[in-house]
Amino acid sequence: MSDAPLPLYRRPSPDTSVSSTLASAPLDLLRRYDKPGPRYTSYPTAVEFHDGFGDAEYRQRLAEAAQSAADPLSLYIHLPFCRERCSFCGCMVIITKKHEVAARYLDFLHREITMLADSLGGRRQVVQYHWGGGTPTYLTLPEMEALHAAVAQSFDVQPGAEVAIEVDPRVTTTEQLALLRQLGFNRVSFGVQDFTPEVQEAVNRIQSEDLTRRLFDAARRLGFESINIDLIYGLPLQTRESFGRSVDAVVSMRPDRVAAYSYAHVPWIRGNQKRIDPAMLPTGERKLELFGAVMDRFLAAGYVQIGMDHFALPHDELARAAAARRLHRNFMGYTTKPATDMVGLGVSAIGDVAGAFVQNTKKLSTYYADLDARRFPVERGYLLDPDDRLRRALITELMCNFRIEPPALEGRFGISFDDYFAAELGELAAGPMADGLIERQDQRFEVTPSGRLLVRNIAMIFDRHLRARTSQAPVFSRTI
């Protein structure tokens, strides 16, 4: 094993030190930290959800949430349909070319919306509203209009709310985008991943740059406030050069935001990923090189880095919130609009209501049977205890704003930080602190530039459930 510095990245400017610091990271350090770990879109993570939490427990939570009628909500709707499956896809999707399947689903979704609104009483204000998938633009224009009308009948989407949709450019028309604008959608996210033809072939997703650019330009003309592009690094056959060219193409479009996801290879959960030959996947070190290609280019083009894997133009709300350390994170990703409760609708959707996580069934037949019986189609959930709430606050702050603030946690949770986390602090000192990934500065801990990419590893130290997990069965994707 070599200790030689990795000649990973060119340094774009004197203060963009993340990639340059990584450039001198010893190989054994990267290897030590490259292990399976959660992405912390929630704490505790979804693997802790259990089936002792169902319809009755969810109704209790909703009744409690209904008490705070003036508090804002986040609303997520899962539209799982896609015509074809990309081999890398880790999302919960239903592949069908039979449109009637989606039409039936929408009937039931409308019922779920009404049931939810009834249970929430007068609590109707929505500040974050998101259609995700699958492919929400699988729907026809009248279906999209009817779905939005059902939501608008039961909830009040507030002026200034973040109203967003995920879009697959291969199946989305300008007419659909125009309708979405008319309905009040102000954010759109395009799935791109990589423009290189060989990579696209290897992951069963053929999508030309030209087609993407045309739809992107249409979204700009229509006046979407924020346009995001998703990329994935770590896909088969990606090289630093070829991926760099894809990133250059994205930079030239000038999206307001970019998500550069690390490819999560979990074939034991997503059978479609078995079509990807593991021998074709870049190693952890090569993945860091690929991320370096992304980071160098976006930083040089004037973007700022948000959290682990996002970039935004300085005018974007997300960039401003990051600068002011006001970022939040939920299942929809980073956000500037914290809502005390988040409700999820549709198969597999996850909510976060009155101190509990709740997840809907992934099976269409169960979803329909439950709603027919006027039950919420809840498959599993998790009620947080006081220790979970404390660790959740700590991990969220770490993942969003790259710091831990002991005095704030002591004030809010009535603990003595150094006593409560004595074991974790020992591990932090021997590992990430000794390796220069996080530093203690007076009253707080700050993640260093090189620690940002490995922030999941730092969070893992504070994850009580992960520490208690003894099973060796694969659960999480790798941290690098």
The residue ranges that bind ligand SAM (CB under 6 A) are: 88-91, 133-135, 166, 168, 191, 193, 230, 232, 261, 263-264
Select from ligand SAM, ligand SF4, none the partner in contact with residue 263, using the beta carbon and a kind-dependent cut-off of 5 to 8 Å. ligand SAM
Nearer of residues 86 and 126 to ligand SF4, judged by Cβ: 86
Q: Which does 59 bind (CB under 5 to 8 A by kind): ligand SF4, ligand SAM, none?
A: none
3 state DSSP class of 111: helix
Three-state SS string across 48-67, please? HCECCCCHHHHHHHHHHHHC
Q: Does 264 bind ligand SF4 (CB under 6 A)?
A: no
The answer to whether the beta carbons of residues 151 and 75 sit under 8 Å apart is yes
Please, which residue, 166 or 405, has the CB nearer to ligand SAM?
166
Nearer Cβ to ligand SF4 (73/232): 232
- List the one residue from 134, 377, 406, 451 that touches ligand SF4 (CB under 6 A): 134
Among 191, 236, 344, 451, contact with ligand SF4 (rule: CB under 6 A): 191
Alpha helices for 25-140 (secondary structure H): 27-33, 55-66, 99-119
Specify the residue, 16 or 137, whose C-beta has the smaller distance to ligand SF4: 137
The helix or strand, by DSSP H or E, that contains position 369, with its residue range, turns out to be: helix 364-372
Shortest distance (Å) from residue 259 CB to ligand SAM: 7
- Of 62 and 147, the one with the shorter C-beta distance to ligand SAM is 147
CB of residue 253 vs ligand SF4: minimum separation in angstroms?
A: 19
- Based on the shown chain and the rule CB under 6 A, indicate whether residue 168 belongs to the binding site for ligand SF4: yes
403-404 and 444-447: which strand pairing?
Answer: antiparallel
Using CA atoms in the order 143, 145, 148, 149, what is the torsion angle rounded to 10 degrees? -110
What is the C-alpha to C-alpha distance for residues 126 and 341, in angstroms, rounded to an integer? 10
**Shortest approach of ligand SAM to residue 446 CB, angstroms?**
28
Nearer to ligand SAM, 263 or 420 (CB): 263
Q: Which stretch binds ligand SF4 (CB under 6 A): 38-46, 59-67, 133-141, 440-448?
A: 133-141
Instruction: Write down the least CB distance from residue 78 to ligand SF4, Å.
Output: 11
Candidate residues 37, 38, 44, 133; the one interacting with ligand SF4 per rule CB under 6 A:
133
| 473 C-beta neighbours (distance < 10 Å), count | 6
Q: Taking a C-beta distance cutoff of 8 angstroms, is the pair 154, 124 a contact?
A: yes
215 near ligand SF4, rule: CB under 6 A: no
Indicate which of ligand SAM, ligand SF4, none lies near residue 85 (CB less than 5 to 8 Å, by partner kind): ligand SF4
Q: Are 474 and 36 in contact (CB under 8 A)?
A: yes
- Among the listed residues 22, 62, 82, 117, the single contact to ligand SF4 using CB under 6 A: 82
Number of helices and strands in the chain (H, E): 18, 19
Residue 195 CB, nearest approach to ligand SAM (Å) = 13
Query: What is the smallest separation between the CB atom of 270 and ligand SAM, expressed in angstroms?
Result: 7
The reply to whether 177 sits near ligand SF4 by the rule CB under 6 A is no
**Nearest 10 degrees: CA dihedral of 283, 285, 289, 295?**
110
CB 47 within 8 A of CB 36: no
Task: Determine the residue type at 457.
Answer: N
Cα–Cα distance for residue pair 191/179, rounded to 1 Å? 19
**Which residue lies nearer to ligand SAM by CB, 90 or 381?**
90
290-349 residues near ligand SF4, rule: CB under 6 A:
none
Smallest distance from the beta carbon of 168 to ligand SF4, in angstroms?
5
- List of residues 6+ apart from 460 with CB closer than 8 A: 37, 38, 466, 479
- Whether 360 and 378 have beta carbons less than 8 Å apart is answered as yes
Is 29 within 8 Å of 449 (Cβ atoms)? no
CB 295 within 8 A of CB 9: yes
The size of the interface with ligand SF4 (CB under 6 A), counted in residues, is 11
Of positions 91, 249, 266, 300, contacts ligand SF4 by CB under 6 A: 91
> Which of ligand SF4, ligand SAM, none lies near 261, with the C-beta cut-off 5 to 8 A by kind?
ligand SAM
Among 86, 229, 318, 400, binds ligand SF4 (CB under 6 A): 86
How many Å apart are CA 79 and CA 81, to the nearest integer?
6
Which DSSP helix (H) or strand (E) runs through 259? strand 257-262
Q: Is 93 in the site for ligand SF4 (CB under 6 A)?
A: yes
| Nearest by Cα to 174 from 142, 217, 228, 215 | 215
Select the binding partner of residue 282 from ligand SAM, ligand SF4, none (C-beta < 5 to 8 A, by kind).
none
- According to DSSP, residue 152 is labeled H
Please list the helix, strand and coil fractions of the chain in percent, rounded to the nearest 5, in that order. 45, 20, 35
Rounded least distance, CB 223 to ligand SF4, Å: 25
Query: What are the residues binding ligand SF4 (CB under 6 A)?
Result: 82, 85-86, 89, 91, 93, 133-135, 168, 191
